[in-house]
Chains A and B, each alone.
Chain A
Amino acid sequence: MTELLVAEEISKIVGWLKKETIVDHVSINLHEGEIMGLLGPNGAGKTTTMKMLLGLTSISSGTARMFGAPVPTPASRVGVGFLPEAIQHPDHLSVYEYVRFHARLSGINDSIAKIEEHLRQVDMWEYRDRLLKECSKGMRQRADVARILLRQARLIFLDEPFSGLDPCGQVMLKELLMSLKKQNISILVNSHAAGILADVCDRVCVMNKGKIVVNEPLEKLLKTSQTRVVASFADSAAATAFAAARPGLSGKQKEPAVFEFILDDRNGLNEMAGAIIAAGGRLIEMTPVMLTLDQLFVKTLSIRNDEMAGGLS
């Protein structure tokens, strides 16, 4: 897969007298058609990293290339779209004028048909004549997506796109991201909405205090060695007896005759299945346990913070 974005050891240092490192030697790669989630607590340096890559803020050290062109040259931004957080749209333009203005600025054919196509894609064609100031946040965001799509962007940066959206808006945006992915468009999403990111991202990058803590494919990150086992027995007494015979198992009785427990070691799966059958039970479900992104995020940060604290002491 082609690498659209390659950032090597980029850093951002601010301040004249008292220097402060906002982003510390961050390296990111993004492939074509890949969606990468950028996670991290407030002040971790996620937005600054994005701004550096987009050429909005200078890079203090390190290099970055987009589409093979060095950042921040205009060539590096040819196929790039950006949806900033809490953008306030120009009040004097309608949805249609807004999209057309950006298309013209990009030197792209701004024929009505083309604009219509992209506004329809985001369900905004009906509202084309509405002034942006009269649109809801979700509508404005969709108009922004349309402006990006019209530019035929192949790499899109989204900064907190889900904040302030109602559940319907969030679902709609999530679906939109999925459809963009299908079009082989790469997306870098910076968000706190870990639950939604987990549904759309291929890879997750967790940042903390300006540094990248984790940068792995999502599947790999969420996978654990635990297995959830659900078994049913003839009656509740049989279930209780089965549990009592294995004190090492952490589990609970879901129903009087149904017992659910977590098996830490996958090597013991066969043995456990045999034991259930031997006890007159029936195996109902046996699934690997996956972490949620929120759990992973909290877990990663707490480990990192402990490490840092340990290092300091």
Chain B
Amino acid sequence: MFSRIRLIMWDTFLDVARHKMLTVHLVFVCIALGLFNLFGHFSTTPSLEYRMIQDVGLSIISLFGFLIALFIGSTTLRDEIQRKTIYAIFTLPMGRWELYTGKFLGTLLAAVVNMLIMLGILTLLLYIKFGLIWSGFQWVALFMILEFAIMTGMVLLFSLTDSLIVCFSLSIFCVLLGSMAEHVQHLAFEADIPLLSYLTDVVYWVIPNFGYFNIKYKILKDLTISPSFAMWAVGYACCYLFFLLVAGSWALKKKDL
């Protein structure tokens, strides 16, 4: 069972890694990081400039990371279904959930490798410019991986819908809503419409709150992250991923090919 998942994961990773889109993405990231370097000029001291470039760089990586997760996640399973290669796999004596989990892990692996490359570029940029090695790298990487894992899981789930546009719309909607979940709930509460309030309560509990994975400012200020906090974050992310995998596997099982 696990060897099959591992095989599918690796195959998916290789399939995704050869995608030209990723190279284009990386080129874009390099250009964006270079351009956003200019934001450093708003700063007044080298330390502030360092932090601002770090901040803008991390935000770019988050944004591009999400785009990568969106593009890869929405196409990997859909393409397999459209190309009918999935038929050959589904007629093997294995559960559909194994394929789904393998696909998810492969996609995530590709997204994570991309993210690490982007972080590496940023670190190199900072090193060239300031001669400093970034201390909070591992925490940023961990929290970004958690964030991307949830995003990828969501996109993969939505990719099981019949239309790519629906998949894109739902994914973007959920990520935006996930970033503003508490605010949306608050606004609904303020609006004093019971039904809306009820609905946003449900959304608030079901949609992941990506805002809580944003530890950027803590990293930027060189503040420490306690292991217990990291552990809780990992725990929550794992639970949410489990939920997404169950939902996805269920949806795939029910799907008529």
| B is bound to A | yes
The answer to the question of B83 belonging to the interface, with a C-beta cut-off of 8 Å to chain A, is yes
Between B8, B90, B93, the greatest number of chain A beta carbons within 10 A of the residue's beta carbon is seen for B93
| Shortest CB distance B4–A (Å) | 6
Mask for B139-179, Cβ within 8 A of A = 1, else 0? 00000000000000000000000000000000000000000
The answer to the question of B223 belonging to the interface, with a C-beta cut-off of 8 Å to chain A, is no
Residue of B nearest to A75 (CB): B93
| CA of A78 to CA of B94, assembled, Å | 9
Structural contact, A104 and B93, CB atoms closer than 8 A? no
Residue of B nearest to A100 (CB): B7
Given A54-B90, A56-B256, A106-B92, 12 new contacts (CB under 8 A): A55-B91, A57-B256, A74-B93, A74-B95, A77-B92, A84-B84, A84-B87, A89-B83, A90-B85, A101-B11, A104-B4, A151-B92
The answer to the question of B47 belonging to the interface, with a C-beta cut-off of 8 Å to chain A, is no
Structural contact, A105 and B90, CB atoms closer than 8 A? no
| Shortest CB distance A98–B (Å) | 9
Structural contact, B85 and A51, CB atoms closer than 8 A? no
Cβ-neighbour of A78 out of B11, B14, B88, B93 (below 8 A): B93
Structural contact, A82 and B91, CB atoms closer than 8 A? yes
Structural contact, A84 and B88, CB atoms closer than 8 A? yes
Chain B binding surface, main DSSP class: helix
The answer to the question of B221 belonging to the interface, with a C-beta cut-off of 8 Å to chain A, is no
* Chain B residue contacts of A112, Cβ below 8 A: none
Mask for B70-93, Cβ within 8 A of A = 1, else 0? 000000000000111101111111
* Chain A residue contacts of B129, Cβ below 8 A: none
Structural contact, A87 and B92, CB atoms closer than 8 A? no
Structural contact, A104 and B3, CB atoms closer than 8 A? yes
Q: Which residues of A contact B (CB under 8 A)?
A: 14, 51, 54-58, 74-75, 77-78, 80-82, 84-93, 101-102, 104-107, 144, 147, 151, 157
Structural contact, B91 and A81, CB atoms closer than 8 A? yes
* Chain A residue contacts of B93, Cβ below 8 A: 74-75, 77-78, 106
| CA of A151 to CA of B91, assembled, Å | 11
| CA of A105 to CA of B257, assembled, Å | 20
* Chain B residue contacts of A93, Cβ below 8 A: 11
* Chain B residue contacts of A81, Cβ below 8 A: 91
Structural contact, B88 and A82, CB atoms closer than 8 A? yes
| Shortest CB distance B102–A (Å) | 10
Between A80, A90, A91, A102, the greatest number of chain B beta carbons within 10 A of the residue's beta carbon is seen for A90
Q: A51-B257, A77-B93, A92-B14 are in contact. Are A102 and B88 (CB under 8 A)?
A: yes
Residue of B nearest to A147 (CB): B88
| Shortest CB distance B174–A (Å) | 25
| Shortest CB distance A72–B (Å) | 9
* Chain A residue contacts of B3, Cβ below 8 A: 104, 107
* Chain B residue contacts of A75, Cβ below 8 A: 93
Structural contact, B83 and A88, CB atoms closer than 8 A? yes
The answer to the question of B15 belonging to the interface, with a C-beta cut-off of 8 Å to chain A, is yes
Mask for B1-45, Cβ within 8 A of A = 1, else 0? 001100110010011001000000000000000000000000000
Structural contact, A87 and B85, CB atoms closer than 8 A? yes
* Chain B residue contacts of A106, Cβ below 8 A: 92-93
Between A14, A74, A78, A144, the greatest number of chain B beta carbons within 10 A of the residue's beta carbon is seen for A74
